[in-house]
Amino acid sequence: MNPMKPMNPVNAATAPVADTDTDTDAITDAGAGADATALRRSAELEGLIRQAPGRFRVMTGDRPTGPLHLGHYFGTLHNRVRLQDLGVDVFVIIADYQVLTDRDVADRLTEHMEAMVLDYLAIGVDPERSTIFNHSAVPALNQLMLPFLSLVSVAELNRNPTVKDEIAHSRQSTVSGLMFTYPVHQAADILFCKGNLVPVGRDQLPHLEVTRTVARRFNERYGQVFPEPDALLSAAPLLLGTDGTKMSKSRGNSIALGATADETARLIKGAKTDAERHITYEPETRPGVSSLVLLAALCLDRDPHDVAEEIGGGGAAGLKRTVTEAVNTRMAPIRARRAEYARDLGYVRSVLRAGNARANEIAGATLDEVRGAMGGVR
């Protein structure tokens, strides 16, 4: 389904990959042209970022529905740290209200949020330079949703292919207003801090279009307040889960960042391969084997074809040995840092508190500006 050919994983590791909880691979064909445009624009943006990182504010985030995994790491997390280290101002939202789009209650929310902060810290998100915050702690952000909702039509909301797909896969029998409108909420996530760069997977492109539309219409109606943010998209390797389908928090097929070496070995041991002994990298015809090869290649910063060739006649057992060792070696320092931070949850909470304080300050200022532009009551 993914029309983007995986590229050399050394470069590809910088690229975001689609990753939501629901399976959003089934983006309509109309999206393919948009992908190509976004890819071209993203290459251009990479150049601009290198020249003047200070011109960019990145906004990105995750829903706190479960542990972050290797798919997130190589897809998006790694890229956030790269951007941060290039000198871009990075905002990471833990999208707690967004959890409620496809389920009645957000389970174990505090636990998931703290685990997420731990993951961010462990991979190198630096709270001195980047801002980690969550939806429900920033009221002014959420208030932006009201004027923003007035800027989009029901017909436009209805056309969003990612929302359509998520509705089709939702565990709820009815579609809530939040599910239907969350791309507008996401526009508030991005625009409250005037984010102008959003690293996304292709499933998020329609949402970014909503954000751009909201910004443009707001500016047209009330005067210039918001930037029209760019998507930062590139050809990303799609890591499959251990069952050969997309790696996803909710499918029980993922290897968590915080998994132990033993858990990792067990999960990889149970991964789906095929009967052919000779190991090759052929994602189209051998998805299970190729995804394992890709995982090893990403961990080793090597080309997947070379990794496959080296394993050669080693069969599934040889492949799994290589992958397990590659993952455990690559993740060891991250896991060690994670364990260290986990011993001090007070610190973890203080990181989120400080991020929320900063987000609140910015959201308040933006909301004032919005009220001023709209001529409303203060």
What is the Cα–Cα distance from 168 to 162, expressed in whole angstroms? 10
Q: Which of 61, 64, 206, 355 binds ligand TRP (CB under 6 A)?
A: 61
Per DSSP (E only), the strands in 200-252 are 230-232
What is the Cα–Cα distance from 347 to 341, expressed in whole angstroms? 8
Q: Does 363 participate in binding ligand TRP (rule CB under 6 A)?
A: no
Cα dihedral sign, 258-262-264-267? negative
Nearer to ligand TRP, 20 or 322 (CB): 20
Q: Does 60 participate in binding ligand TRP (rule CB under 6 A)?
A: yes
Give burial (CB, 10 Å; 0-12/13-18/19+) of 153: exposed
Nearer to ligand TRP, 93 or 296 (CB): 93
Q: Which of 13, 15, 49, 59 binds ligand TRP (CB under 6 A)?
A: 59
Nearer to ligand TRP, 61 or 71 (CB): 61
Q: Does 93 participate in binding ligand TRP (rule CB under 6 A)?
A: yes
Nearer to ligand TRP, 102 or 322 (CB): 102
What is the Cα–Cα distance from 302 to 267, expressed in whole angstroms? 22
Are 240 and 247 in contact, with CB atoms under 8 Å apart?
A: yes
Angle between the 177-191 and 161-169 helix axes, to the nearest 10 degrees? Answer: 130
Region class of 19: left (phi > 0), else alpha (psi between -120 and 50), else beta? beta
Stretch that binds ligand TRP, among 50-58, 61-69, 236-244, 246-254 (CB under 6 A): 61-69
Cα dihedral sign, 247-252-254-258? positive
Question: Could you give the string, one character per residue 141-180, with x where binding to ligand TRP holds by CB under 6 A and - elsewhere?
Answer: ----------------------------------------
Q: Does 189 participate in binding ligand TRP (rule CB under 6 A)?
A: yes
What's the token pair of residue 150? 């007035």
Stretch that binds ligand TRP, among 9-17, 54-62, 102-110, 214-222 (CB under 6 A): 54-62
Number of residues counted as binding ligand TRP (CB under 6 A): 14
Cα dihedral sign, 328-75-27-305? negative
Write out the binding residues for ligand TRP, residues 196-215 only, by CB under 6 A.
Answer: 198
CB of 183 to ligand TRP, least distance (A): 9
Closest to 130 measured CA to CA, from 173, 165, 81, 172:
81
Q: Does 13 participate in binding ligand TRP (rule CB under 6 A)?
A: no
Q: Which of 12, 15, 17, 20 binds ligand TRP (CB under 6 A)?
A: 20
Q: Does 356 participate in binding ligand TRP (rule CB under 6 A)?
A: no
Stretch that binds ligand TRP, among 55-63, 136-144, 236-244, 246-254 (CB under 6 A): 55-63
Q: Does 328 participate in binding ligand TRP (rule CB under 6 A)?
A: no
Nearer to ligand TRP, 61 or 304 (CB): 61
CB of 76 to ligand TRP, least distance (A): 8
Q: What is the DSSP letter of 25?
A: -
Three-class secondary structure of residue 17 per DSSP: coil
Nearer to ligand TRP, 123 or 326 (CB): 123
Q: Which of 23, 35, 62, 166 binds ligand TRP (CB under 6 A)?
A: 62
Q: Does 181 participate in binding ligand TRP (rule CB under 6 A)?
A: no
Non-local CB neighbours of 166 within 8 Å, separated by 6+ positions = 20, 22, 24, 101, 102, 179
What is the Cα–Cα distance from 236 to 202, expressed in whole angstroms? 9
Tell me the C-alpha to C-alpha distance, in Å, between residue 117 and each of 88, 146, 197.
Answer: 19, 29, 22
Closest to 4 measured CA to CA, from 26, 28, 24, 32:
32
Residue, CB closest to ligand TRP: 95
CB of 211 to ligand TRP, least distance (A): 8
Stretch that binds ligand TRP, among 92-100, 165-173, 291-299, 317-325 (CB under 6 A): 92-100
Site residues (CB under 6 A) for ligand TRP? Answer: 19-20, 59-63, 93, 95, 98, 186, 189-190, 198
